[in-house]
Structure 1
Amino acid sequence: MAKQHPKVIAGIDTHADTHHVAVISETGRHLGDKEFLAVGSGYRQIVEFITGFGPVSSIGVEGTGSYGAELARVLSREHFWVLEVMRPNRQERRLRGKSDPLDAYQAAEAALAGSRVATPKARDGAVESLRVLRAERNSAMRARVAVMAQIKSILVSAPEPIRAKYRGLSRVAMMSALEKSRPIGDPAEPPNATAIVLKRLAVRYRHLNTEVALIDTELDAILTIHAPTLRDIQGVGTDVASQLLVTVGDNSERVTSEARFAALVGVAPIPAASGKTTRHRLSRGGDRQANKAIHRVVLVRMMSDSRTKTYVARRRQEGKTTKEIMRCLKRYVAREIYDQIMHPHPAPFAGQLRALRKAKNITLQAAADDLRVWPTALSRLERGLTRDDNFHKRYESWLNDH
């Protein structure tokens, strides 16, 4: 009978230029450690170094989303079980000290114990493309806001003849007028320099607008192919959908339950009771950008969704505050989005509603009056611009009864 070699566990402390690798046995005994360059040849040497100690059980890697991203991809392609290792807490670090070998051994020990570890994002599919595009979009949006703020700041102290040209104009009209201006004269003169700078800033603003629009088109195209049903949810647009997919990652199976997704997006209720007060509050952990996206969905629904408005009114009568109501809504929205990500199902086809209404010679106003909704809300539902599955069924039943 062939002798079986005991399995080993590796830990890797990643940096920009080098990665430090440590290997331990299944009993926690230190077997060896070594530093490698963070380049393609270094990744191959890491694989050879780890496998030289025997069959590999798992590999704990720090920074799989930054310095260790490419290394994690290489190890996954080699069919190793890669775990993302969280940074040890400060108290433990003060007690045990810090160095690259120590950090690598601690990563291996965390992988062995299964503590402070998580499944890393794959970063090899369409969601990674969304992440990169969103990073560019965010910087372009910040730059656009900065340009507008700078233009307004310059206009505040500009000479009166320049200020008079753009006083009272809307933002769009002002930017168009600034871009079409033809400043002349010596830039050494303050009025001429001001006019020249304002025009250049307006041109920069237009370029940033064009860049953001192009990115939005690319994001929309990716979502249409890879997540076509996610935006069917009420209040979820391109920006929100792309952010939530980036938070989940290409390997959505890493989020194993709706409760885990709620914790990931920072909407998991946690106890906040004291004395005679029994209450919950939302977790302040998780991805804050994803939490912001969920918050936007809730705000949209509170303003435009009839079911949400009814729910808010009922909860207010029960004595709930706005924050408590939004906490409940966020958890509901997270549950709905998780189900759509893991088990996508398209929205009901709304085109037949309009055809059925017209076949029965019912006007939009008459239907809206009888159903007690705004005609515009009914029209948007018929055109598929909004999704409300419950109201869709109610409207369809009403049409069939007439």
Structure 2
Amino acid sequence: MTIPATCVIGGVDTHKHTHYAAVIDEHGRLLGHQEFPAADHGYRQLLEWMHGHGPIDAIGVESTGSFGATLTRFLTKAGIRAVEVNRPNRLARRMDGKSDRLDAEQIARAVHGQTSTATPKAKSGSVEVIRTLRVTRASAVKSRTQAFNTLWGVMIGAPSPLRDDLVALTKRTLINRCLRLRPETEDSVVTGWRHRAAAPRWGQDRSA
């Protein structure tokens, strides 16, 4: 990659509330570093600050799939070439210690040295909507499975009169039966089990 003499490269170490930025020149010399709010007005300040050091060739961004996602979209919309940089140089971190300034500088150097060249995913449009729906559904399925496994474990250890009646049932029938259980006996053990086996978390959704 041939970088014009007047161009600069930025690096951004992203966090939840703030982003730390650094700028280097074509020779790898650090020109400046500064912290900005992780919000729209902060992104504008960051870009203006980098432009103040010269025309921007590219900006490396850490965590483009999480804390850096919004900044990446902002930069792309502004016509800036954003580069995904996942891990700052570990050797430099061991030598100089952890610091946001160092991480931002190493992100910029990763772009300058072409050790990071990936274009971040857009994280927008119909593809992102589908991905979000898939992640949400997977989480719901996992929670339902965990809830049923808990119910099954409770049922296996239930008093024999109840366990023998439930153990051979299918999953849906077992859930429906447990939802109808009421503490109608004076046996404290059976009463306690009936309370625990009401299965409200799994059984609320009757579509499965």
Same structural fold, with TM-score higher than 0.5 when normalized by the shorter chain: yes
Q: 1:110 to 1:5 in 2, by over 3 A?
A: closer
Aligned with 1:190: secondary structure?
A: helix
Aligned with 1:117: secondary structure?
A: coil
Which residue identity lines up with residue 59 of structure 1 in the other structure?
I
- Name the structure, 1 or 2, with higher relative contact order (CA <8 Å, separation 6+): 2
Structure 2: distance between partners of 1:89 and 1:142: 36
Partner of residue 12, structure 1 = 12
Structure 1: distance between partners of 2:160 and 2:64: 56
Partner of residue 72, structure 2 = 72
Shift of 1:15: 0.9
Give structure 1 stretches of 5+ with no counterpart. Answer: 214-402
Partner of residue 31, structure 2 = 31
**Is residue 179 of structure 2 the alignment partner of residue 197 of structure 1?**
no
Partner of residue 183, structure 1 = 182
Q: 1:61 to 1:187 in 2, by over 3 A?
A: farther
Shift of 1:176: 2.6
Which residue identity lines up with residue 68 of structure 2 in the other structure?
G
Shift of 1:89: 5.0
Shift of 1:92: 4.2
- Kindly report which structure 2 residues correspond to 1:338-349, keeping only aligned pairs within 5 A, or say none: none
* Contact 2:155–2:167 (CA under 8 A) maintained in structure 1: no
Aligned with 2:168: secondary structure?
A: coil
Shift of 1:207: 3.5
Give structure 2 stretches of 5+ with no counterpart. Answer: none
Question: Between Structure 1 and Structure 2, which shows a larger proportion of helix residues?
Answer: 1
Partner of residue 253, structure 1 = none
Partner of residue 97, structure 2 = 97
- Kindly report which structure 2 residues correspond to 1:2-401, keeping only aligned pairs within 5 A, or say none: 6-88=6-88, 90-179=90-179, 181-185=180-184, 189-199=188-198, 201=199, 203-207=200-204, 210=207
Q: Which moved more, 1:165-174 or 1:103-112?
A: 165-174
* Contact 1:5–1:55 (CA under 8 A) maintained in structure 2: no
* Contact 2:83–2:116 (CA under 8 A) maintained in structure 1: no
Structure 2: distance between partners of 1:72 and 1:187: 63
Aligned with 2:19: secondary structure?
A: strand
* Contact 1:19–1:36 (CA under 8 A) maintained in structure 2: yes
Q: 1:91 to 1:209 in 2, by over 3 A?
A: farther
Structure 2: distance between partners of 1:188 and 1:55: 80
Shift of 1:188: 9.6
Aligned with 1:20: secondary structure?
A: strand
Shift of 1:177: 2.1
* Contact 1:5–1:54 (CA under 8 A) maintained in structure 2: no
Partner of residue 396, structure 1 = none
Which residue identity lines up with residue 128 of structure 2 in the other structure?
E
> How many residues get paired?
205
Q: 1:187 to 1:120 in 2, by over 3 A?
A: farther
Q: 1:89 to 1:41 in 2, by over 3 A?
A: closer
Shift of 1:97: 3.3
Q: 1:209 to 1:125 in 2, by over 3 A?
A: farther
- RMSD over equivalenced CA pairs, Å: 2.3
Shift of 1:193: 2.6
TM-score (normalised: structure 2): 0.88
Question: Between Structure 1 and Structure 2, which shows a larger proportion of strand residues?
Answer: 2
Shift of 1:172: 2.6
Structure 1: distance between partners of 2:59 and 2:28: 14
Deviations 1:174-193 (A, max 9, x none): 223223x2404489933123
Structure 2: distance between partners of 1:133 and 1:6: 45
Q: 1:65 to 1:188 in 2, by over 3 A?
A: farther
Aligned with 1:118: secondary structure?
A: coil
Q: 1:98 to 1:153 in 2, by over 3 A?
A: same
* Contact 1:12–1:19 (CA under 8 A) maintained in structure 2: yes
* Contact 1:59–1:81 (CA under 8 A) maintained in structure 2: yes
Structure 2: distance between partners of 1:127 and 1:118: 19
Q: Which moved more, 1:168-177 or 1:155-164?
A: 168-177
Aligned with 2:204: secondary structure?
A: helix
